Structure 1
């Protein structure tokens, strides 16, 4: 029997997840939640750029709950961390499992009322909350865990992601949400959302490696463009932010044991390698391990969609059986969620 699934939001990543679920024989898409009234009532297949499937989207949470799906894939708009909690609590209390692309890698790191509320909602509804995606979702929660199995002693783990942002077309997203073109001395606008989200990635990896963290320290670097950078979305002026290096350090006994470093850039003057790999996992230990990983499209795929959204969709589909089978409450993503 196929898992009954609902897609929550159809932005770029949400649409990728929706397409992956539509294509998988073990998943039946029974609904789709949309924030826009203009999208409400449209066929879900058409929202995904596919043929109609006879299922209509809705902007009513009540209608989503009434579908009684096995899982909701939550890909809501980015916002301050925890801003999606009311939606997720409602779903969990109604007995709907949730896979979130917006963090929730290890909510147990944020001990307190918020964690208690998420756990209690899941236990009352008999449902589970689990993180999904690539980063958060895969890089720290899965890839680094597997790589650590090649060493006898882990002194430090460094996770590095490079995201070339030059192809982004939306000015509001590039300059507003991401913070390019801003004053390098000003706090980056995405920090409130990212600090909570990615601290949980560090916490999840630490838990898998049995490292007891005392703190997770943000340590972000903003680099200025040496000259004007002309992009499809507009111009990043010389002297404004052209490269954001987001960094979080997991500290145990006064020593940094885990570092997550994410580079967003529109020019390469501040990179050690002008053509860096997508991901690097570097374990300093006995022995040390260094792994580079790239994603690539199928050779027959001539669409404009890059490889990364396909992988996001796959990470979600491959997690569905695990979140459905997990104990109610809040769950860490398993270290391995193979294709099925």
Structure 2
């Protein structure tokens, strides 16, 4: 902990942003000095009221200039996922002002897309003496940290796959469920492998960065990323908190990105988002599976769970994202200006494609 708490701003207070806000209000290492909100109903409200905490005397705003004037050490950027790079203008302004940025939706490894975007972010960070870094669960944790760490037992490595299975039934935001994730769309009207479809355009770039970060940590040279996405129809009408998903429309999306190294698919990220389980191999899958093929191979199943005494409405995933944020704050503050790729949990690198089985 520093001599004084880190001055932090929460950018967006949706489900995950609100969880981060609560945790930072509670944590002794952080002083929440402001929050940027998108909804007019939240403007002018006390942050304690938004977060379900005692009054703080700090009011939410939708004025970026007010946020910049606060001179925070760190801004926790939790805006809704949009088209890849759509939040760059805001991130650049924050960096140029001297605020470090932690993003829970991307910026895992912008080096995956060299060129104007990377150069712009790097210049902004250098101009303000600040850095941007991606944190979170996926992106941010299970692939770039846990899966990479798992390969430390391998004398040789062929392939690493991460599979996420996320039940979207409890989501309450219609825009997020239907627009961002694509549920309820007519099956015949969408092609999930067409980047012009909104959900694909939002997700492809973000998870290409995840594979780039994995490759970097493993000492692999990523040539390209290939997609193998699919949509499955709901079998019945489903009345959910966010609205109704009609039978025959998208009720399950299976996103899959393959990282190609030396002409072969060596890294795979698979994500199943679903509102019914009919198209899952396992009706009750773990949140994550990690499958490493090598000498030796390895399989892991991972779930998150709340503390047994916790009666709050926060879910385990919300706690986990907030924990990632709190633990990353000192690192983004200490990082060199510009774009920062979060270091792996293990120094194990360079296993590459060496085959020791015949020796």
Length-normalised TM-score, structure 1: 0.95
Change (3 A) 1:97 1:205: same
CA distance in 1, matches of 2:127, 2:176: 38
Residues 197-254 of structure 1 deviation map (CA, whole Å, 9 limit, x = unaligned): 1110111001000110110112101112233334344433332211100111000111
CA distance in 2, matches of 1:69, 1:171: 32
Correspondent of 1:306 among 293, 306, 315: 315
Establish whether residue 187 from structure 1 lines up as the match of residue 205 from structure 2. Answer: no
Deviation at 1:268? Answer: 1.2
Partner of 1:39: 42
Partner of 1:196: 205
Residues 295-336 of structure 1 deviation map (CA, whole Å, 9 limit, x = unaligned): 001111112221111101001110001000111110111224
Deviation at 1:11? Answer: 0.8
CA distance in 1, matches of 2:45, 2:315: 26
Residues 183-332 of structure 1 correspond to what in structure 2 (within 5 A)? 183-185=186-188, 186-188=190-192, 189-332=198-341
Partner of 1:51: 54
CA distance in 1, matches of 2:56, 2:215: 43
Partner of 1:98: 101
CA distance in 1, matches of 2:176, 2:61: 25
Correspondent of 2:169 among 163, 166, 170: 166
Deviation at 1:31? Answer: 1.1
Length-normalised TM-score, structure 2: 0.90
Change (3 A) 1:230 1:46: closer
User: What secondary structure, in the 3-state scheme, does the structure 2 residue paired with 1:16 have?
Assistant: helix
Structure 2 unaligned spans of 5+: 193-197, 347-359
Deviation at 1:58? Answer: 1.6
Partner of 2:357: none
Establish whether residue 86 from structure 1 lines up as the match of residue 89 from structure 2. Answer: yes
The farther-off stretch of 126-135 and 175-184 is 175-184
Asked if 1 retains the 8 angstrom alpha-carbon contact of 2:236 and 2:247, the reply is: yes
User: What secondary structure, in the 3-state scheme, does the structure 1 residue paired with 2:85 have?
Assistant: coil
CA distance in 1, matches of 2:38, 2:298: 44
Asked if 1 retains the 8 angstrom alpha-carbon contact of 2:82 and 2:180, the reply is: no
Correspondent of 1:62 among 61, 65, 79: 65
CA distance in 2, matches of 1:232, 1:6: 30
CA distance in 2, matches of 1:241, 1:233: 15
Partner of 1:109: 112
Residues 142-173 of structure 1 deviation map (CA, whole Å, 9 limit, x = unaligned): 11121111212221000110101122234443
What is the root-mean-square deviation of aligned Cα atoms in Å? 1.5
Structure 1 unaligned spans of 5+: none
Residues 160-197 of structure 1 deviation map (CA, whole Å, 9 limit, x = unaligned): 10101122234443233321122223135311110111
User: What secondary structure, in the 3-state scheme, does the structure 2 residue paired with 1:38 have?
Assistant: helix
The farther-off stretch of 184-193 and 21-30 is 184-193
Change (3 A) 1:311 1:193: same
User: What secondary structure, in the 3-state scheme, does the structure 2 residue paired with 1:238 have?
Assistant: coil
Residues 11-63 of structure 1 deviation map (CA, whole Å, 9 limit, x = unaligned): 11110111111111111111111123332222111111111112122222122
CA distance in 2, matches of 1:253, 1:234: 45
